Amino acid sequence: MNLIHIGEKVINLEKIYNKIDKILEARSSGLSQQEVADKLNVDRTFISRLEGIGEVHKGKDIAVAGFPIKNKDEVISVLEKHGIDFYIIMTEQERREFAESKNGAELINELMALLAKGRSYDVVIVIASDMRSKMLAALLDKEIITINIGHSPLTQDVYIDPALLDSVIESIKDKKA
């Protein structure tokens, strides 16, 4: 059980996650916000705010960062099909070579330049381990779509389903904002 303490209260995170899952499942099945609110005994405004927190604005410029990727060529093919012009897709070996081929100052400068470039996009899709995804989300401070490929540290390349990636990109680009 995942519990946190807030002042005198003990909060059960699983209970919150389960309620949110039920709300979103009911909404995606076609029920109105008011119908879901009545059914699950929550305020309709809570549902509206919850949807606002998670909304991905469509029609935005997209960048992609992913590592360690086993089927790099397939992933890049999907990105190019969608016209995504800024991406960093690396295998584990490429990631290690990138880090080891530079001294400390060079590595920091190159990483800062990549982060600055990533921040210029509206949405960044991050395909990485749980820890790396959280770190990139904090550093980029942008709208992040995460495709979690495992628990850190990942030491082996991971296969990415091209159809999943295609679907994620389609859902973002589907309708222009």
pLDDT above 90: residue 75: yes
Q: For the purposes of burial, counting CB atoms within 10 Å of the CB of 107, is it exposed (0-12), middle (13-18) or buried (19 or more)? A: middle
Residues 113 and 96 in one domain: yes
At 57 the pLDDT is 54
CATH code at 73? 3.40.50
Q: What is the mean pLDDT of residues 69-88?
A: 95
d(CA 165, CA 89): 13
How many distinct structural domains can be found in the chain? 2
> What pairing do the DSSP bridges indicate for beta strands 143-148 and 123-128?
parallel
Q: Token pair of 31, please? A: 């029920």
Q: Which domain holds residue 30?
A: 3-53
Q: pLDDT tens digit string along 9-46?
A: 999 999 999 999 999 999 989 999 999 999 999 999 99
Output the CA torsion 145→150→156→161 (10° steps): -50
Residues 125 and 70 in one domain: yes
